Structure 1
């Protein structure tokens, strides 16, 4: 099994190296709850490559005998998220040359992949709209399409992109319709703006949502 690479942190607040007292630091390595600069952690010869170019990052990692993952804490999501990598400078240069050599081919591949994904999304949205109308036959067709389009946006994290949603699971499809009704057919959003908690607001609009869904289920 390949060992995990070292992890380097972009600190949110000013940090000073526990060994050389250098600071403030742009990158720190935590060891035994103490922060060290890259030089003291024996990573000072590496250069930073921000995320964004998957091919360049992959090639730079493969060409570098030592590399590290760079992360930063996201307070809102309460988790560390990858920001890029640290790699050897000559490895990055070789990776850049390789990427330039086949840039046109990779651009054409991206275009083909984008077209394929777009066609897949159109088919999936249509299938999701059909399933909504099967479960809720009196739902206006235009509304069913709008719900399907909104909930199935690639990369959105909405229920339509979850595994259950892609499988057109009845519970996931119903959840998507429920969410649409909650936002568009009730006072839910206004209640949130008034400072009412999400749990209380959901409880107050539940009866309205159930009524709308019942009328859409009626055959």
Structure 2
């Protein structure tokens, strides 16, 4: 039977490896093998490891995979080592064929419920995002009352796109910290009110380009922070 001993880079439980190269079973000498079980470092075919009656369910359908494993008395995770990423990656699971059939019958039964849940979750996230964007825009206008309202909303919307990794989605951004809000405004001014992008496209290093347009950025920020007053800098 396959070893269940976990290593830092392998999932817990029975593990089957997609064979790298031409591997042969150390017990029956059959091969080359597409899938092997390592027992004390020696490759075994699925039959010799008592897993030959299982069928492969490729990764991709999370709900089906979960149900198939629930239905199957015996299952194993199939992994492949990625040399480029330096880690094992899941390729699917081995489960009993009858268990997979039962799981496939169960999944369509609640597909509509899952669809409705996804729609509810999407609406909830959209409402949360809209509230956060409005709060971010309000904080921009508090710090820069001279900033046009449409511009403040545009900056907030850009900075707070879910999954973008932008400043609005950082911990500081979600907390509406002054530094994060100012950073978002500065980035917008840098790209829209200065020749910063043209400098980058012409080969000017980023830090040098920022140095050249720093005064222009400060002029805009000062004007927005103190509307009606001219910057003396």
**TM-score scaled by length of structure 2:** 0.67
* Number of the residue aligned with 2:225: 217
2:77–2:90 CA contact under 8 A, matched in 1? no
Distance 1:5 1:129, change over 3 A: same
2:137–2:156 CA contact under 8 A, matched in 1? yes
Distance 1:8 1:67, change over 3 A: closer
Q: Offset at 1:18?
A: 5.9
2:141–2:152 CA contact under 8 A, matched in 1? yes
- Give the Cα separation in 1 of the matches to 2:155 and 2:188: 7
Which of residues 88, 99, 119 is equivalent to 2:95? 88
Which of residues 36, 47, 59 is equivalent to 2:56? 47
Which of residues 13, 18, 21 is equivalent to 1:16? 21
- Give the Cα separation in 2 of the matches to 1:192 and 1:74: 35
Consecutive unaligned residues of structure 1, counting only runs of 5 or more, are 31-35
Count of residue correspondences: 208
- Give the Cα separation in 2 of the matches to 1:188 and 1:81: 43
Which of residues 47, 68, 72 is equivalent to 2:77? 68
1:182-201 correspondence runs (5 A): 182-201=190-209
Question: Root-mean-square deviation (CA), in Å?
Answer: 4.1
* Number of the residue aligned with 1:110: 118
1:160-179 correspondence runs (5 A): 160-179=168-187
Q: Offset at 1:58?
A: 3.4
Give the greater-gyration-radius structure (CA): 2
Consecutive unaligned residues of structure 2, counting only runs of 5 or more, are 26-30, 228-233
* Number of the residue aligned with 2:149: 141
**TM-score scaled by length of structure 1:** 0.71
Q: Does 1:208 align with 2:207?
A: no
Query: What SS does structure 2 have at the residue aligned with 1:200?
Result: helix
Query: What SS does structure 1 have at the residue aligned with 2:122?
Result: helix
Q: Does 1:58 align with 2:66?
A: yes
1:22–1:37 CA contact under 8 A, matched in 2? no
